[in-house]
Amino acid sequence: AQKITQTQPGMFVQEKEAVTLDCTYDTSDPSYGLFWYKQPSSGEMIFLIYQGSYDQQNATEGRYSLNFQKARKSANLVISASQLGDSAMYFCAMRELGNTDKLIFGTGTRLQVFP
Amino acid sequence: DTAVSQTPKYLVTQMGNDKSIKCEQNLGHDTMYWYKQDSKKFLKIMFSYNNKELIINETVPNRFSPKSPDKAHLNLHINSLELGDSAVYFCASSHTSSDSANEQYFGPGTRLTVT
């Protein structure tokens, strides 16, 4: 059974600093995708970044990068130069290649950025 | 030019009532989903439809019945509402492909409160 684990219920970071949000996963499928979503207090789910299991390089999207360590089954999100607007819940999710297309989500990490 | 829209945004109702939540996407996607986010922020897939065909039904009670009149719409009807149905319900959509990279786009969510 596939599983996503986010061990940090809450994280604090000072503005302009970098922060790493942890995510580990468990799957027996060799083909899968890993996603990070942001959920601000307004409630919407915002897609941030994607990493495929066969991707050779770590994904980057602006200030977001994914530290993908396949052997350790971890896909940590790194946010550089934190901004106050980064305060939100962050969810790691996984999709196995196949026809179900469903995302399995972790329990989330609440990030608070302080001035 | 909203991508995935849901109505209503808030829904307060009494136990035993029947209610519906509507979802529409204008992204040209062929797969749509319903997720439930509980009070602890945990997100779990409920259903997915591909081209109006039910693909995933994650052991959701029979009181929940999705309906997809066309591939741009996926509605959720809930009969005999119970207190435990209180949650935020998210609709999402994506392309279907063999590539695990296709991210899901989420609607703004519908906060259902059963009293």
Tens digit of pLDDT for each residue in A85-112?
Answer: 999 999 999 987 665 678 899 999 999 9
CA proximity to B26, closest of B86, B84, B83, B73: B73
Mean pLDDT of A10-35: 94
At B57, the pLDDT band (50, 70, 90 cuts) reads confident
Q: Before A9, cis peptide (omega within 30)?
A: no
Mean pLDDT of B47-76: 89
At B102, the pLDDT band (50, 70, 90 cuts) reads confident
Minimum distance, in Å, between the CA of residue B13 and any CA atom of chain A: 20
User: In whole angstroms, how far apart are CA B74 and each of A41, A74, B99?
Assistant: 25, 34, 23
Structure tokens at B31: 């797969």
Mean pLDDT of B34-49: 93
Q: CB–CB of A49/A79 below 8 Å?
A: no
Q: CB–CB of A50/B101 below 8 Å?
A: yes
Q: Which pLDDT score, from 0 to 100, does residue B93 have?
A: 93
**Are A32 and B100 an interchain contact pair (Cβ–Cβ within 8 Å)?**
yes
Q: Which pLDDT score, from 0 to 100, does residue B98 have?
A: 60
Q: Which pLDDT score, from 0 to 100, does residue B42 have?
A: 93
At B99, the pLDDT band (50, 70, 90 cuts) reads low
Structure tokens at A37: 């979503």
pLDDT surpassing 90 at residue A11: yes
Minimum distance, in Å, between the CA of residue B68 and any CA atom of chain A: 17
Residue A85 main-chain phi, psi, to 5 deg: -70, -5
| Distance (Å, whole) CA A60 – CA B106 | 21
Closest chain B residue to A99, measured at CA? B98
Q: Which pLDDT score, from 0 to 100, does residue B54 have?
A: 85
Residue B84 main-chain phi, psi, to 5 deg: -70, -10
Amino acid found at A54: Y
At B50, the pLDDT band (50, 70, 90 cuts) reads confident
List the 28-87 stretch of B: residues with Cβ below 8 A of A.
31, 33, 40-45, 48, 50, 55-56, 58
Q: CB–CB of B21/B65 below 8 Å?
A: no
Mean pLDDT of A73-80: 97
Segment among A78-87, B35-44, B56-65 with least mean pLDDT = B56-65
| Distance (Å, whole) CA A31 – CA A83 | 34
Average pLDDT of chain B is: 91
What is the DSSP pairing of strand B43-50 with strand B31-37? Answer: antiparallel
Nearest to A101 among B41, B94, B105 (CB): B94
**Are B55 and A53 an interchain contact pair (Cβ–Cβ within 8 Å)?**
no
Q: Is B104 on the interface with A (CB under 8 A)?
A: yes
Nearest to A107 among B42, B99, B109 (CB): B42
| Distance (Å, whole) CA A15 – CA A90 | 17
Q: Which pLDDT score, from 0 to 100, does residue A83 have?
A: 97
Q: Which pLDDT score, from 0 to 100, does residue B10 have?
A: 97
pLDDT, tens digit, for every residue of A24-60? 999 888 888 999 999 999 999 999 999 999 998 999 9
Q: Which pLDDT score, from 0 to 100, does residue A98 have?
A: 63
| Distance (Å, whole) CA B104 – CA B90 | 11
Nearest to A43 among B55, B88, B96 (CB): B88
